[in-house]
Amino acid sequence: LKHPLDCTASEESLERLSKVARIEGFSDEESEEQQGLADLESMNPVNPRVQRYLVAIEYIGTRFSGSQQQAKDRTVVGVLQEAFHKFIGQPVKIFCSSRTDAGVHALSNVCHVDVERISKRKPGEVLPPHEPGVVQRAVNHFLQRKDGDVMVIDVRCVPSNYHARYKAQERTYFYRLLSGSDPLSILEKDRCWHVPEELNLRFMQEACRVLVGSHDFSSFRAAGCQAKSPMRSLDELNITEVPSTPYFPSITERTLSNLNNGDPLACSNQPKSETAGVTTNVGEVEGSTGGDSFGRRRRHRCYVVTARSRGFLYHQVRLIVGALKCVGTGELTVSDVERILEAKTVSAAKPMAPASGLYLARVRYEFP
The full set of domains in the chain, from first to last, is: 48-157 (3.30.70.580), 170-244+298-365 (3.30.70.660)
CA separation for the pair 237, 56 (Å, rounded) = 24
Read off the pLDDT of residues 37-90 as tens digits, 9 standing for 90 and up.
554 354 445 677 899 999 999 999 999 999 998 888 999 999 999 999 999 999
Q: What pLDDT is attached to residue 4?
A: 39
Read off the pLDDT of residues 182-199 as tens digits, 9 standing for 90 and up.
999 999 999 999 999 999
Q: What percent of the chain has pLDDT over 70?
A: 75
Determine which one of 28, 39, 73, 101 is catalytic: 101
Read off the pLDDT of residues 195-209 as tens digits, 9 standing for 90 and up.
999 999 999 999 999
Q: What pLDDT is attached to residue 263?
A: 55
CA separation for the pair 36, 24 (Å, rounded) = 17
DSSP string, 99-120: ---TT-EEEEEEEEEEE--B-S
28 assigned to active site: no
DSSP state of 227: -
Q: What pLDDT is attached to residue 6?
A: 40
Q: What pLDDT is attached to residue 291?
A: 58
CA separation for the pair 137, 152 (Å, rounded) = 8
> What's the first-to-final CA gap in the chain, in angstroms?
15
Is 194 in contact with 175 (CB distance < 8 Å)? no
Q: In this structure, what are the phi and psi dihedrals at residue 335, rounded to the nearest 5 degrees?
A: -65, -35
pTM: 0.81
